[in-house]
A and B are shown apart, each in its own frame.
Chain A
Amino acid sequence: MRSVGIGALGALALALTACGADDPAADGAGDAIVADEAQAEEIVDETEDVDPEELGGDEDDIVLTFWHGLGGDDEVFIEEELAQRYSEQTDGVVVNAVNRGTYEETLDASILAAGTDAAPHLVQLYEIGTGVARDSGVFVPLHEADEDGLFDVDDYIPAVAEYYTDETGELYSAPWNSSNPILNVDATRYEEAGLDPDDPPETFSEVMDDCDVLMAETELEGCFGMPIHAWFFEQWVAQQGELLVDNDNGRSGRAEEVLLDSDAAVTVMEWWQEMDAEGYWTNSGEREDWDDPRTLMAEGEIAMALDSTAGVAAYEDSLAEDGRELTTAFMPIPDGVERNGTIIGGASNYVVDGHSDEETEAAVAFANWLSETEQIAEWHRATGYFPLREDTREQLEDEGWFDEQPNFATALQQLEETQVSDATRGAIVGQFPQIRSIVLDAAEAALFEGQDPAEALSASKDEADRVLSDYNEIVVGE
Chain B
Amino acid sequence: MTKVEQRSGPAPSPAPGPSADARPPRRTHGLRARIERFDAALAETHPATFRRRSAALWMLLPTAVVLVVFLYVPMARTFELSLYRTAIFGQQRLFVGLENFARVFTSPESLDAVVRTAIISTLVIGGSIGIALLLAALMNQRIGGTRIYRLLLVWPLALSTAISGVVFRVMFDPNVGLINSWLEPLGIQPEWFRDPTLAQGILVMALIWNRVGFNLIFYTAAYQNLPRETLEAALVDGATPWQRFWRVTFPLLSPITLFLLVTSTIFAFFDAFAIAAIFDGGPLNATSLLIYEIYENAFVFDARGLAAAQSLLLFLAVGALTVLQLRQGRKRVVYQ
Contacts and interface: CB of A to CB of B under 8 A. Distances in A.
A–B interface present (Cβ within 8 A)? yes
Interface of A: 12, 16, 104, 107-108, 111-112, 132, 135-136, 282-288, 292, 295-296, 299, 301, 430-431, 433-434, 437, 441, 444-445, 447-449, 467, 470-471, 473-475, 477
Nearest to A438: B301
B284 A136 contact: no
Given A112-B89, A135-B88, A287-B282, A104 B175 contact: no
A437 B192 contact: no
A135 B86 CA distance: 13
30 contacts: A107-B89, A111-B91, A132-B87, A135-B87, A136-B91, A284-B173, A284-B174, A284-B175, A284-B193, A285-B193, A285-B195, A286-B193, A295-B175, A430-B87, A431-B87, A433-B300, A434-B302, A434-B303, A437-B301, A444-B283, A448-B195, A448-B196, A448-B283, A467-B301, A470-B87, A474-B85, A474-B93, A474-B94, A477-B92, A477-B94
In the complex, which of the residues A107, A445, A471, A475 has the most CB atoms of chain B within 10 Å of its own CB atom? A471
Contact of A437 (B196, B199, B300): B300
Contact of A431 (B193, B199, B301): B301
A467 B282 CA distance: 20
B299 interface: yes
Interface of B: 62, 85-89, 91-94, 173-176, 191-196, 199, 279-280, 282-285, 296, 299-303
Contacts of A447: 194
Contacts of B195: 285, 448
Contact of B92 (A285, A287, A299, A475): A475
A286 B282 contact: yes
Nearest to A225: B175
Contact of A112 (B91, B174, B176): B91
B174 A285 contact: yes
A111 B88 CA distance: 8
Nearest 8 Cβ contacts at the A-B interface: A285-B194, A285-B193, A434-B301, A474-B87, A474-B94, A287-B280, A136-B88, A108-B89
B283 A285 contact: yes
Given A136-B91, A286-B279, A475-B88, A299 B175 contact: yes
Contacts of A292: 175
Given A288-B280, A444-B282, A434 B88 contact: no
B175 A12 contact: no
B284 A448 contact: yes
Contacts of B302: 132, 431, 433-434
B265 to A, nearest CB: 28
Nearest to B90: A112
Nearest to B88: A136
Nearest to A107: B89
